[in-house]
Amino acid sequence: MKSLKLLGLSTVVAITALTGCKPKGTETAVSGDAAQKVYVAPGKYDEFYNFVSGGFNGQVNVYGLPSGRLLKVLPVFSVNPENGYGYSEETKPMLETSHGFIPWDDQHHLSLSQTNAEVDGRWLFANANNTPRVARIDLKTFKTVEILELPNSAGNHSSPFLTENTEYVVAGTRFAVPMDDENGDVPIDSFKENFKGVLSFIGIDQQTGGMDLSFQIEAPGINFDLSHAGKKKSGDWFFFSCYNSEKANTLLEVNASQNDKDFIMAVNWKKAAELVKAGKGRKVVTEYAHNTWDESTHSATSTMKKEVVVLSVEDMKEAMFMIPCPKSPHGCDVDPTGEYIIGSGKLAALIPVFSFDKMIKAIADKNFAGEYDGVQVIKYEAALHGEVQKPGLGPLHTEFDGQGNAYTSMFVSSEVVKWNIKDLKVLDRQPTFYSVGHLMIPGGDSGKPFGKYLVAYNKITKDRYLPTGPELAQSAQLYDISGDKMKLLLDFPTFGEPHYAQALPGEMISKNQVKFFKIADNKHPYATKGEAESKVVREGNKVHVYMTSIRSHFAPDNIEGIRVGDEVYFHVTNLEQDWDVPHGFAIKGNQNAELLIMPGETCTLKWVPKKPGMYPMYCTDFCSALHQEMQGYVRVSPAGSNTPLIYSLNNKKDNAQSPVKEGETK
């Protein structure tokens, strides 16, 4: 009896001791003034815009820093019923590919345009990982204005990374695949003969930002993971991290982790561009979509391109080299001076830091260790500046503060480690909650980091927020890095799985915002520039409704004479010329989406009524005190009936006595 009691007591003690030992998270990590440092008073703006990848939601999410407030979700690669992106007739072409219309993707990395290696606030580039694409977002309107598909590629992971003056955005394929002009129907175990790893160089028009696939490089069939351009003295070069140098094609977690060293591939893009100009490279016949948004017509166009110039390893003899890098490198990051290239081997117990000067010298001295599929491999020691010893487990990605310090995320040990680039000494480490992937310092991959905050983007968040079933929010954590030691200030939930992010001072973008589109400049073919121009036009079984919206009514607001089987196109022009006054448009039973029309813009919603009846339509955006009155009806008659096509336009007498207008038939 006594012994039993003792046993019970000792169990209680043991449990108490065990739970007492559980490491405390936030309480120890957050200091007293954290709340003050992230507090942005009501009515005040955040200091930074933070553009965070949406991961598998295919969008880009915009947060304010330091508050962590969500400002906007930008539709880029996925349809968005909230505003009709990918559903409206005008935006459908944005999501066209050589595989047809694709309503989703997996968005991983972001890159802000730069001038002289500094962020400039013009454009934001985003990658689609699954069906390889690169998008450009105009930061005056926060709209996706261009999407370019990439041929000869799969798993567009090493993308989009920009040169220091936004001359090129690059995209390296993660999956090696057979070239598009070769037979792809080959045995998978013929990987080593038939599969290629292609790097794409997309030229950017400096005035318009327009993208053009200038050339590709047919590199060995290796997996490209991440990338960064050199800057300043290394500005002509691009660096790509590569894994699976084993060229395994099954059970990669084992078979691609055999080699002690994989590679960082260095490509002189200036020389490559010169080679293309000199006529090198072969023309590969393929198909890829180029989708562009025209702000004057408020419409997108999709064009299918048929050809791309591809440089071979042979062509690139003098302009492409491998540097051995331990072991399955993820991040491939260049410090603000352009001298140091940091490879982060996910499976390595150290961080190798390469020197650009040493690399150039090694190439000049032909200090090579051999060849890999025809690419010269520079001797590891010849390019190495040094190794950061015992930095933590699972280094993934490094950003810089501009004070000579580097910050590396450690996935396995869930921490951020600060170290000095010159002497490679570890200076500080702070836990993350939990499993940090990329991290971001505003301007931290440019020549001029702002060096005030660091954000860690974490994969796992259990116990951080109120639980939401089996699926929990992803999370970002904000650190103050202005002092010697990093200080955790805040964590906030994020959409999708956040990967890479970019940030810049708010003022750089906010001052250039477009507030509304001038109605006089609206060149949409179905624009209705005043209520008097509103009309309903039948062309066979197609009915075009030229509709306007203004607080607080549609014109026309009642339409009769629509028949089952008609294709009805509502071309809605928002007549407002005022900031922050969009109008919505929705109709009952539509299998499409709604519209959200910006002031001065025209958007088109297609509707195919399936059965006769009365269909209300209304404004979905609470636009004014009379928003609820912003509504109307469409009467649908059976197919073949001869209900006259009529509509009411600003009918101030109720019950539609007059003036009811006769629809036009063409």
Task: Give the Å distances, CA to CA, from 394 to 131, 409, 443.
Answer: 28, 8, 24
Nearer to Cu ion, 440 or 623 (CB): 623
Scanning 136-144, 368-376, 414-422, 576-584 for contacts with other proteins by CB under 8 A, the matching segment is: 576-584
Nearer to Cu ion, 363 or 555 (CB): 555
Nearer to other proteins, 652 or 666 (CB): 652
Scanning 146-154, 236-244, 294-302, 574-582 for contacts with other proteins by CB under 8 A, the matching segment is: 574-582
Q: Which of 98, 297, 577, 631 binds other proteins (CB under 8 A)?
A: 577
Judged on CB neighbours under 10 Å (0-12, 13-18, 19+), 548 is: buried
Nearer to Cu ion, 153 or 548 (CB): 548
Nearer to other proteins, 32 or 42 (CB): 42
Q: Which of 605, 623, 634, 636 binds Cu ion (CB under 5 A)?
A: 623
Least distance in Å: CB of 626 to other proteins? Answer: 6
Contact, 119 vs 112, CB < 8 A? yes
Site for other proteins in 334-363 (CB under 8 A): none
Pinpoint the alpha helices (H) of 494-640: 506-510
Nearer to other proteins, 213 or 575 (CB): 575
Least distance in Å: CB of 618 to other proteins? Answer: 17
The yes or no reply on residue 480 touching other proteins (CB under 8 A) is: no
**Among 31, 52, 139, 74, residue whose Cα is nearest residue 492:** 52
Scanning 94-102, 117-125, 558-566, 571-579 for contacts with other proteins by CB under 8 A, the matching segment is: 571-579
Contacts (Cβ under 8 Å, ≥6 apart) of 62: 49, 50, 51, 52, 70, 71, 72, 73, 74, 142
Nearer to Cu ion, 433 or 554 (CB): 554
Dist CA 440 CA 454 (whole Å): 6
Q: What is the sign of the dihedral through the CA atoms of 87, 292, 74 and 168?
A: positive
Residue 550 contact among Cu ion, other proteins, none, beta carbon within 5 to 8 Å by kind: other proteins
The yes or no reply on residue 588 touching other proteins (CB under 8 A) is: no
Least distance in Å: CB of 550 to Cu ion? Answer: 8
Nearer to other proteins, 611 or 652 (CB): 652
Residue 623 contact among Cu ion, other proteins, none, beta carbon within 5 to 8 Å by kind: Cu ion
Tokens of 600: 């001065």
Nearer to other proteins, 105 or 576 (CB): 576
Residue 137 contact among other proteins, Cu ion, none, beta carbon within 5 to 8 Å by kind: none
Residue 512: CB atoms within 10 A of its CB come to: 13
Site for Cu ion in 545-604 (CB under 5 A): 583
Nearer to other proteins, 278 or 520 (CB): 520
Residue 588 contact among other proteins, Cu ion, none, beta carbon within 5 to 8 Å by kind: none
Dist CA 624 CA 352 (whole Å): 60
**Among 126, 149, 142, residue whose Cα is nearest residue 74:** 142
Q: What is the sign of the dihedral through the CA atoms of 581, 587, 588 and 591?
A: negative
**Among 513, 475, 530, 478, residue whose Cα is nearest residue 650:** 530
Residue 232 contact among Cu ion, other proteins, none, beta carbon within 5 to 8 Å by kind: none
- Give Cα 120 to chain centroid, integer Å: 18
Least distance in Å: CB of 519 to other proteins? Answer: 10
Site for other proteins in 521-550 (CB under 8 A): 550
Edge-to-edge order in the sheet of strand 223-229: 223-229, 237-243, 262-268, 320-325, 375-378, 368-372
Site for other proteins in 391-420 (CB under 8 A): none
The strand ranges marked E within 154-246 are 158-162, 168-172, 197-204, 211-219, 223-229, 237-243
Residue 626 contact among other proteins, Cu ion, none, beta carbon within 5 to 8 Å by kind: other proteins
The yes or no reply on residue 630 touching Cu ion (CB under 5 A) is: yes
Least distance in Å: CB of 571 to other proteins? Answer: 21
Residue 555 contact among Cu ion, other proteins, none, beta carbon within 5 to 8 Å by kind: none
Q: Which residues pair with 262 in a beta bridge?
A: 325
Nearer to other proteins, 188 or 520 (CB): 520
Q: Which of 33, 463, 578, 664 binds other proteins (CB under 8 A)?
A: 578
Q: How many residues bind other proteins (CB under 8 A)?
A: 11
Look up residue 356 and give its amino acid. Answer: F
Q: What are the phi and psi torsion angles at 66 (to 5°)?
A: -90, 5
Scanning 183-191, 211-219, 438-446, 572-580 for contacts with other proteins by CB under 8 A, the matching segment is: 572-580
Nearer to other proteins, 141 or 577 (CB): 577
Residue 355 contact among Cu ion, other proteins, none, beta carbon within 5 to 8 Å by kind: none
Dist CA 582 CA 85 (whole Å): 15
Nearer to Cu ion, 423 or 629 (CB): 629
Residue 18 contact among other proteins, Cu ion, none, beta carbon within 5 to 8 Å by kind: none
**In three state form, how does the secondary structure of 45-88 look?**
CCCEEEEEECECCCCEEEEEECCCCEEEEECCCCCECCCCECCC
Residue 577 contact among Cu ion, other proteins, none, beta carbon within 5 to 8 Å by kind: other proteins
Nearer to Cu ion, 413 or 552 (CB): 552
Q: Compose the 88-127 pattern: x for residues touching Cu ion by CB under 5 A, - for all others.
A: ----------------------------------------
DSSP of 625-649, one letter per residue?
A: TTGGG-EEEEEEEPTT-----EEE-
**Among 296, 79, 107, residue whose Cα is nearest residue 208:** 296
Q: Compose the 612-641 pattern: x for residues touching other proteins by CB under 8 A, - for all others.
A: ------------xxx--x------------
Contact, 587 vs 568, CB < 8 A? no
What is the chain's percent helix, strand, coil content, to nearest 5?
A: 15, 45, 45
The yes or no reply on residue 576 touching other proteins (CB under 8 A) is: yes
Edge-to-edge order in the sheet of strand 168-172: 107-115, 118-128, 133-138, 143-149, 282-294, 299-311, 211-219, 197-204, 168-172, 158-162
Q: Which of 652, 657, 658, 666 binds other proteins (CB under 8 A)?
A: 652
Residue 630 contact among other proteins, Cu ion, none, beta carbon within 5 to 8 Å by kind: Cu ion
Residue 33 contact among Cu ion, other proteins, none, beta carbon within 5 to 8 Å by kind: none
**CA gyration radius for the chain?**
29
Least distance in Å: CB of 526 to Cu ion? Answer: 19
From first CA to last CA, the distance across the chain in angstroms is 99
Residue 611 contact among other proteins, Cu ion, none, beta carbon within 5 to 8 Å by kind: none
Least distance in Å: CB of 82 to Cu ion? Answer: 15
Residue 440: CB atoms within 10 A of its CB come to: 27
> What 8-state DSSP symbol labels residue 44?
P
The yes or no reply on residue 551 touching other proteins (CB under 8 A) is: yes
Q: Which residues bind Cu ion (CB under 5 A)?
A: 583, 619, 623, 630
Q: Which residues bind other proteins (CB under 8 A)?
A: 550-552, 576-578, 624-626, 629, 652
